[in-house]
Amino acid sequence: MASQYTSASLYVGDLPPDVTEANLFELFNQVGAVASIRVCRDAITRRSLGYAYVNFHSAQDAERALDQINTSTIKGKPCRVMWSQRDPSLRKSGKGNVFIKNLDKSIDHKALHDTFAQFGDILSCKIELDETGESKGYGYIQFATQEAADKAVVKVNGMMLNGKKVYVGPFIPRKERIAANSEKKFTNIFIKNLDEKVDEGQLMEIFQKFGTIKSAIIMRDDQNKSKGFGFVNFDTPEGAQLAVQEMNDKPIEGKPVYVGRAQKKAERESELRNKFEQMKMEHLTKYQGVNLYIKNLDHDFDDDKLRGIFDQFGTITSSKVMKDAKGTSKGFGFVCFNSPEEATKAVTEMNGKIVGSKPLYVALAQRKEVRKAQLEAQFAQRTKVTPRMPAGPAVYNGTPMFYPQPPGQPGFMYPPMVARGRFPPGPYQQMSNYMMMPGTGRGGNIKNGGRGNMMQAPNRRGMKQPPVVPPMPAPQPQVPTPVTAPQVPVVPPEAPLVVPQVITMQYLEQFPVKEQKRVLGERLYPLIAKGQPVLAGKITGMILDSGYPEEVLHLINDPDSLTEKVDEALKVLKEHNEKVKAQQQ
């Protein structure tokens, strides 16, 4: 069988979410030399999708791994190993797939595999498990050929396995099953919203005009009181179909009733899930790009007042100020426009504008899980590329920026700024490319407590990197200290920056884009350090990375929003640290 898969690549499925490449390497490398391993993850959240690919150097090692490791337990859950099939048309064709149900719960993956291996080569064998790891009583087998699958259906269907008569048949995709169930004939109908006075005799009398009735029942509680629903079973499908068409939404004892085909619980739940997902997608599509989130509202705002300040930009379909249980405004709300163009204009004109006593924050509304996923992805990218550096100046395109840390705590480095003050994922400026020179820097010379000038060594393509000169000792009074370092471009000293007590967008716009984050960071850091002195530098960097200047400005001016943002960042940091610890164990 290995000759069919010369790539020596295996698919490993049914993995727990915390399984890493290191865990799989430790297991599979015992069988043969592993070339590479990749656990497939979500592009945004980086969470495991529950499957991976393991590539060996030889097909013989891959085949041996499939035989020895398939159904092995990884972190308490049996894995499923099969040859990697890169052609999606073959994977989705259903060729060779068999469905088995009514299995005894004592039958596991290996027992099922051994039972059906006599009919041909098995590519995949799986029993569905619940949350506790117990069998749900059904499973799937994929054979290498359709002939082997047909033989298994003929030989095993209706046989007794561990005292239970099993069903074995061709696998039918979910969409086809749903379509078949909606079109198949039925004789049993379900009636709900019945008045408590309606009994079985009255139900028989009402529905017997549509055909011969085999049985009728009203469901009752322990006190023999009607639950308001029941079933009628007809002798023919035609009678049941006619009863549904004629009696659905018709009144019985003054109450309109629902009449429809009786469904199994699993079928009803599946139908409800499909309807919910469809409604959810329709909702997201309908409001994509037109629903705005507005926060930093004065507490006297209501729905009408919110609509009044935004109706100049277009047709508003809804406006809502969110309130607590006492009816007091929470300080944020939503405005939905008729078109994306109107919403975009409102964001452009109103974001950062002072309405009442506060500057508004206006942006397109996002679901909470989307915001959290973006923050997690940004933090994961930072920790992936950011080296641990001692506390000291971080550099924005030659402009020093300093966020101190308490003694013994690592500092935090920030990358160069680009358009709109946002940051690329990396790489970061390395402190080894810079040297501190004595002299006049921000706040004066070293004698007066200044930090010194920041000098950047050239690093052009084709030029040898000059050695980095360490900080020179402080010069003696009135005796200049000669500099023996290579001549390199010197960043001009910064002029002292006087930041007003209240920062507005008008104030920020006087600075170049790369300076705006520095201004915001110097004001944001002390606010965060009051509550989180140890992690203040790290959290400040996360917020600066993840927000536009308008949003960071809003956080500075709104303590409640800043607290909420810091809590969100702390949660991301905690989850990241837990993942790192789990990977190291």
User: In this structure, are 299 and 170 located in the same domain?
Assistant: no
Report whether pLDDT(259) > 90: yes
> Which tokens is 106 given?
């004592």
What is the residue range of 77's domain? 2-179
**What backbone torsions phi and psi does residue 353 show, to the nearest 5 degrees?**
-80, 135
Please check whether residue 485 lies inside any domain of the structure. no
Tens of pLDDT along 112-130? 888 888 898 888 888 888 8
Which CATH number belongs to the domain containing residue 243 in this structure? 3.30.70.330
CA distances for 82 relative to 19, 112, 141, 227, angstroms:
18, 15, 12, 50
Please check whether residue 535 lies inside any domain of the structure. yes
Residue 553: what pLDDT? Answer: 78
> Among the listed ranges 248-262, 334-348, 478-492, 512-526, which one has the minimum average pLDDT value?
478-492
Residue 139: other Cβ atoms inside 10 A: 21
User: In this structure, are 256 and 375 located in the same domain?
Assistant: no
Report whether pLDDT(249) > 50: yes
Please check whether residue 417 lies inside any domain of the structure. yes
What is the rounded CA–CA span in Å between residue 139 and residue 128?
A: 6
**What backbone torsions phi and psi does residue 358 show, to the nearest 5 degrees?**
-135, 150
Please check whether residue 567 lies inside any domain of the structure. yes
The total number of structural domains in the chain stands at 4
User: In this structure, are 393 and 354 located in the same domain?
Assistant: no
Tens of pLDDT along 18-73? 898 888 998 998 988 888 898 998 876 778 888 999 999 888 899 889 888 888 88
User: In this structure, are 221 and 143 located in the same domain?
Assistant: no
Of 146, 179, 212, which marks where a domain is finished? 179
User: In this structure, are 321 and 381 located in the same domain?
Assistant: no
Grade residue 243 by pLDDT with cuts at 50, 70 and 90. very high
Grade residue 323 by pLDDT with cuts at 50, 70 and 90. confident
502: alpha, beta or left? (left if phi > 0; alpha if psi -120 to 50): beta
Report whether pLDDT(434) > 60: no
Angle between helix 513-531 and helix 549-557 axes, rounded to 10 deg: 30
**Mean of the pLDDT values across residues 143-154?**
88
Tens of pLDDT along 60-111? 899 889 888 888 888 888 888 888 876 666 556 667 888 999 888 888 888 8
Q: Name which residue leads in pLDDT, 178 or 475.
A: 178
User: In this structure, are 327 and 418 located in the same domain?
Assistant: no
- Spell out the residues 6+ positions from residue 63 whose beta carbon is closer than 8 angstroms to its own: 1, 2
Are the C-beta atoms of residues 154 and 191 closer than 8 Å to each other?
Answer: no
> Among the listed ranges 12-21, 132-141, 273-282, 381-390, which one has the minimum average pLDDT value?
381-390
Q: Model's pTM, two decimal places?
A: 0.39
User: In this structure, are 8 and 102 located in the same domain?
Assistant: yes
Start-to-end Cα distance in the chain? 37
User: In this structure, are 347 and 424 located in the same domain?
Assistant: no
Please check whether residue 389 lies inside any domain of the structure. yes
Please check whether residue 480 lies inside any domain of the structure. no
Please check whether residue 277 lies inside any domain of the structure. no
Which CATH number belongs to the domain containing residue 569 in this structure? 1.10.1900.10
Of 210, 243, 261, which marks where a domain is finished? 261
User: In this structure, are 129 and 114 located in the same domain?
Assistant: yes
Q: Report which of 90, 67, 69 is spatially closest to residue 13, judged by C-alpha positions.
A: 69
Of 365, 384, 405, which marks where a domain is finished? 365
**Mean of the pLDDT values across residues 2-8?**
54
User: In this structure, are 6 and 116 located in the same domain?
Assistant: yes
Report whether pLDDT(508) > 60: yes
Please check whether residue 444 lies inside any domain of the structure. no
User: In this structure, are 523 and 427 located in the same domain?
Assistant: yes
What is the rounded CA–CA span in Å between residue 467 and residue 325?
A: 65
Residue 182: what pLDDT? Answer: 57
User: In this structure, are 540 and 392 located in the same domain?
Assistant: yes
